Structure 1
């Protein structure tokens, strides 16, 4: 059996929320940060607005959910491409639930992906639905979290067919 391929990742998080007094009090600072990785555009980050975050910036919970949804999409499109299913459109409205614990911590309890897929021909519809299960099993992010991820996909046929 060949050795597993290792992939290393690096990201930088720079806090930008010092309003002059640092963290001298709970309300003395913003939760804003810049997230960067290589040549990718900087992502403005913050905490969830429930925790004094900026609603105009991405929070870690949204980023985790977006990572799950994007990983699923990328595996799904790959499987469709090699499996003879021509996808002409894909959009997902992913949702997740996090439970806050009495000590102020918390954890995700579930994520649900709602991928809406459009395929090129009617005969591709059933296979397109089935490939979501295989994509889930291959998704690096889904395989790395400890909460359930459900799928509620829909598949339509392109009007051009």
Structure 2
């Protein structure tokens, strides 16, 4: 049996591109689950640095999905996670071809309860990454470097990585 899950968002923009590339407004509103977000493009592309941009939200989605996947995997393994903090980053380079987010790096610091087993942490982080819906939906490369903490001491660093899909070059001719 196939179960469908659908996700909705509403976006609104108004203005005029008739003023040219350097001057049209990039600010727009996105509404998700009744919450409004003020959005713009990255400041390098004429956007407002005080607003969120799609690239930031992509990195946020990947980080949030990895967290939720890890918590589910840990709960099923009877591992008591007390805290999870991530400093996530995305990398987009501009070259001859179209720009895209080539790499998303997640650096979670995961605190486990005292006396926690640490023998399967590599496997659990890998499973969580494989089960993350967002990671499976992206062609961006992903690197996860999880620092595991028990009783205030770093006990392990777990690394998981997959390469980006090949760059898609524009059609010529």
Distance 2:112 2:27 in 1: 40
Name the SS for the 1:65 alignment partner.
helix
**Higher relative strand content:** 2
What's the CA shift string for 1:13-67, capped at 9, x where partnerless?
Answer: 1115x3xxx222223332111111233x211111001001111111111111110
Structure 1 residue ranges, 4+ long, deviating more than 4 angstroms after superposition: none
TM-score (norm 1): 0.85
Describe the shift of the 1:31–1:79 C-alpha distance in structure 2 as closer, same or farther (beyond 3 A). Answer: same
How many residue pairs end up in the alignment?
A: 151
| 1:95 aligns to 2:95 (yes or no) | no
Residue number in structure 1 paired with 2:10: 12
Q: CA deviation at 1:5?
A: 1.7
1:13/1:33 contact within 8 Å kept: yes
TM-score (norm 2): 0.80
Residue number in structure 2 paired with 1:32: 27
Structure 1 gap ranges (5+): none
Q: CA deviation at 1:129?
A: 4.6
1:23/1:29 contact within 8 Å kept: yes
Residue number in structure 1 paired with 2:58: 64
For the aligned residue pairs, the C-alpha RMSD in angstroms reads: 1.7
Distance 1:10 1:100 in 2: 30
Structure 2 gap ranges (5+): 153-173
Q: Given the alignment, which residue of 139, 144, 147 partners 1:154?
A: 147
